[in-house]
Structure 1
Amino acid sequence: MKRIITIQHTESEHHLNGMVGSWTDWELSKRGRHEAQQITTNLTNEFDLNDFMIYSSDLTRAVQTAQPLATKLGKEIMLEKRLRERNLGECCGQSVAWLNQHKLKDEETIDDRLFPSAESRRESFMRLQSFFDELIENPKDVVLVAHGDILTQFYALFLNQKMEILTTLRFQGLAGGVSIFAIDDTVRIIEKLNDSRYKQIKTDDL
């Protein structure tokens, strides 16, 4: 049985300062770094991850979330640009308020773009799909660290959904949420979805 564990990156500086995430390369906040360490502790207490591969978006906030686990297991992080959050083009480096004031329109279809140079959901789905297909063909168990919007698309792929479902389906991902999937022959199993208990830390630790 193949197991896939996904981790949405933990609290990032852009969660606190009102700025857009996307391809802007934010670091984790102090809380986010503690949460990443706690996820490592809780996951390794529950699972033997020694034979797992670790994949991460190459953006800093995702890499910093994956690093404590890689360090504990003595493994290399496989940096994967196809796991990046959706590119919002000229909105990168701007505030959420700027985004809301300047976006072209709301995204009603998978081909709509918030900005002229932004990725549509179709485009990000297609780049993710190539990675997903390679992942499924590889028998190795994996941990992958990515971002909220792109993980919504990953879950749709895992459920064998077509990209058009992204106009009507959203997963309300949480920073530091852990999801656990398994594939047993041809059966795809959801064991946990967006479980925030793995990141819980004591206030005294901050």
Structure 2
Amino acid sequence: MPIQEIQKCNGPVSFRTGKILGWEEISERLQDSVWLSRNVELHLIRHAESEVNADKRITGSQDVQITTKGQIQAINLGNKLDEYYDMAFCSSLQRSQKTLDLALENGRNGRITVEKIFKDKRLDERSLGVLEGQKVQWIPAYAVGDMNYAPENGESYDEVARRILSFLLELADCVRDNDIGKLLICGHMGPMRIMVGILEEQEDPVTVLRFGFPNADILKFTWNRLKIPGFLKNIASERELP
């Protein structure tokens, strides 16, 4: 399915708001675990190699293309996907969109069917401010699991977590309302760390911020509930305070 058609797909499902909730509302909605109506197969992939990845520089929110190697990775990725998904999602950034496009168009000899595809900015890579374009480097704050650290003019993992929880809350509503059974999401390293931490209900932020995902690789989850995991509970509690 050509990427330019990604918002024009027909189908019964709608994904409505794109809204980023505040911590108070997130905590209220997730005071108790939100159980889905069924076990959902959720396949999560990181975009293929980008031009900045290839140069071993920090990409962040820059909107860059994938390389020739990345195009091959995305095409090969398609053969690891299933032949049917109810819904697929990519970010608003080109490298995520192009990876999903090439994987779906070429995988399984062109026999992959997706009922509806959405772009969602909440899946965008985190902004890394002044670090963007610099050589990949060790960041002490990330090494100790500091969810509140943000580079100058950049975004903290606290802010990324709000985006991802807001996305997953809306997705959980959509799954329950439409009896969705299989999902595909093409994302980026930073938001994927948070999403995997949530799906695995991780306790330790150090573990979560150390996650690494190869380009154009696929992670498979069985998703049946949404809760605020341990690695985010302190943040959620702090942000609720008046």
CA contact 2:77–2:217 (8 Å) conserved in 1: no
Task: Tell me the residue number matched to 2:229.
Answer: none
Please state whether the residue corresponding to 2:164 is helix, strand or coil: helix
Pairing partner for 1:22 from 42, 56, 60: 60
Deviation at 1:68, TM superposition (A): 2.2
Could you say what the CA RMSD is over the residues aligned between the two structures, in angstroms?
2.4
Number of positions where the alignment pairs a residue of Structure 1 with one of Structure 2: 174
Q: Does 1:67 align with 2:101?
A: yes
Q: Does 1:106 align with 2:141?
A: yes
Task: Tell me the residue number matched to 2:45.
Answer: 7
Partner deviation per Cα, 1:50-89 (whole Å, 9 max, x = no partner): x421100111111111002443446553111111111112
With structure 2 as the length reference, what TM-score do the two structures score? Answer: 0.64
Task: Tell me the residue number matched to 1:191.
Answer: none
Please state whether the residue corresponding to 1:106 is helix, strand or coil: helix
CA contact 1:110–1:167 (8 Å) conserved in 2: no
Aligned equivalents of 2:201 and 2:171: distance in 1?
Answer: 14
Q: Which runs of 5+ in 2 are unaligned?
A: 1-38, 227-242
Deviation at 1:136, TM superposition (A): 2.7
What does 1:114-133 correspond to in 2, within 5 Å? 114-115=151-152, 117-133=153-169
Please state whether the residue corresponding to 2:214 is helix, strand or coil: coil
Pairing partner for 2:211 from 171, 181, 187: 171
Aligned equivalents of 2:222 and 2:207: distance in 1?
Answer: 25
Deviation at 1:186, TM superposition (A): 5.6
Task: Tell me the residue number matched to 1:52.
Answer: 86
For 2:120, the aligned partner's letter is: E
Task: Tell me the residue number matched to 1:150.
Answer: 191
Deviation at 1:16, TM superposition (A): 1.5
Change (3 A) 1:172 1:19: closer
Please state whether the residue corresponding to 1:176 is helix, strand or coil: coil
Q: Does 1:82 align with 2:122?
A: yes
For 1:53, the aligned partner's letter is: M
Partner deviation per Cα, 1:100-146 (whole Å, 9 max, x = no partner): 7xx8x63442111222x211111111111100122233142210000
Task: Tell me the residue number matched to 1:159.
Answer: 200
Identity %: 21
For 1:111, the aligned partner's letter is: N
Change (3 A) 1:180 1:42: same
With structure 1 as the length reference, what TM-score do the two structures score? Answer: 0.74
Please state whether the residue corresponding to 1:182 is helix, strand or coil: strand
CA contact 1:19–1:96 (8 Å) conserved in 2: yes
Deviating above 3 A after TM superposition, structure 1's stretches of 4 or more consecutive aligned residues are 69-77, 105-108
Aligned equivalents of 2:164 and 2:99: distance in 1?
Answer: 20
Change (3 A) 1:74 1:180: closer
